[in-house]
Amino acid sequence: MDMFEKQFEELKKKEAPLAARMRPTTLGEFVGQEHLVGSDRVFRKAIESGQLPSMVLWGPPGSGKTTLAFIIANTTSSHFSSVSAVTAGVADLRRIIEEAKERRKLYQQKTILFIDEIHRFNKAQQDAVLPFVEDGTITLIGATTENPSFEVISPLLSRARVFTLKPLAEDEIGVIVHRALQDKEKGLGNIKVEIEDDALQQLITVSNSDARIALNTLELAVMTTPPDREGLRHITLPIIEDALQHRALLYDRAGEQHYDLISALHKSLRDSDPDASLYWLARMLEAGEDPLYIARRLVRAASEDIGMADPQALVVAMAAQQAVHFIGVPEGNLALAEAAVYLATAPKSNSLYTAYSSVQSEVKHGKNEPVPLHLRNAVTKLMKDVGYGKDYKYAHNFPGHVVEQQDLPDSLKGKRFYFPGEMGYERQVTDRLKTWRTIKKTGNDNKQKLD
């Protein structure tokens, strides 16, 4: 590196966003993910020893995936090559692999290949590195916000360990923010800053567990706030709101209001009140609640409070979840709103919920008898000889495709768990079951078999 390149690199570091400048370089500086980097954890020991397996770091934005990769670069004796799946192609990967081969041959030095956003690589690009991960030419570290089971090809995934990073807790975001305010070398420590408690809390809450958002918002708020006569920059809630471009809503994602609002949403759906359902939904979304958390509750409401009265409710709720996962927010908010209105205006029934609760109790506290012999498959001669499948009646051979046959264990013979209601689709279910029971009572036996 010549003098001009060195000056350029120094200038780039100086002008980098606060989040980039504050990136930890050692495990001692790293905040969060104690389940991975705790002193007694295998992941930490692997980093410190340099004996790293190929791995995929899976976690939400701002949780420390890239930071961990750079810490590995600083602590390992291996050569570290970094690419982004957004800009790199197969040619870049082949170049790095060829250099890794030469490095290994000449210097016996390993190469770590870090691929940021590996989920953006297509199958051909992932296939390009597979043989060299397998033979040890490179140690792969991939970072992704998407589920590796769906986004990373199976052969590559089988040769790598998946380490899951958790969203940063609010107190961990707080540590990172305070450190940035105090650090004179890389942070804002040379600037006199006073941030009000409600402003700090809003910054931490609305950052949505993303340290990058918290730090870059803090920097924008500080650098655009003029100092007073004593040189103090006073950061208030309106300043943080302006920097975030997000109104401060009274909401605590980890506290009582989190549970109060989701309860209000669920009960409004149950009460068939679309207006209240939309209101509580918006209150949560606009305050920064995880939309997938809300989607999970909608799915639950579809099964628990609507159930068989409108089986389509579950389909709509799952479609909303997929829409949020596919297009994100804020666009996905409308899909959640559509699902909420559908569920609120659907006929209600808890008969499925009641039936499963009854079955659950029976399974936990009952005898748990073996499956009746006639319901078992006779896959061997011995099984057939001892009575497996004997006298089983194939329903499709009988009028109406209905047959009288004991399908429960002896102790539960005649027991009913599911009692359909009279709302929506369950009215049809009620009528259908009545018809079938009538057919069974008339003696739908072997004499009535179809030819």
Res 218: pLDDT: 92
Q: What's the confidence (pLDDT) of residue 256?
A: 54
Q: For residue 426, what pLDDT band results from cuts at 50, 70 and 90?
A: confident
Tell me the pLDDT tens digit for each residue of 241-285: 888 875 545 555 555 567 888 999 999 999 999 999 999 999 888
* pLDDT in the model for residue 251: 53
Mean pLDDT, range 357-367, rounded to an integer = 87
The pLDDT value recorded for residue 298 is: 96
Percent of the chain with pLDDT over 90: 27
Given a cut of 90, whether residue 149 has pLDDT beyond it is no
Over residues 305-343, the pLDDT tens digits come to: 999 999 999 999 999 999 998 888 788 899 999 999 999
Q: What residues are paired with 138 via a beta bridge?
A: 111
Q: Which fold has domain 33-164?
A: Rossmann fold (3.40.50)
Q: What is the CATH number of domain 371-448?
A: 1.10.3710
Fold of 256-345: Zinc Finger, Delta Prime; domain 3 (1.20.272)
Helix axes 291-301, 256-270, angle to 10 degrees: 40
Is the pLDDT at 180 greater than 90? The verdict is yes
Q: For the chain, which residues make up each domain, given as ranges?
A: 33-164, 170-244, 256-345, 371-448
Tally of CB atoms within 10 A around 124: 10
Q: What is the mean pLDDT of residues 352-356?
A: 90
pLDDT at 448: 45
Confidence of residue 206 (pLDDT cuts 50, 70, 90): confident
- Asked whether residue 4 carries a pLDDT value surpassing 50, the answer given is no
Q: What is the pLDDT of residues 25-69, one digit of tens each?
A: 888 889 999 999 998 898 898 888 878 888 999 988 888 898 898
- Asked if CATH classification 1.10.8.60 holds for the domain at 170-244, the reply, yes or no, is yes
Q: Check residue 339 and give its pLDDT.
A: 96
Asked whether the beta carbons of 21 and 13 are under 8 A apart, the reply is yes
- What's the CA angle centered on 406, arms 404 and 409, to 5 degrees? 170
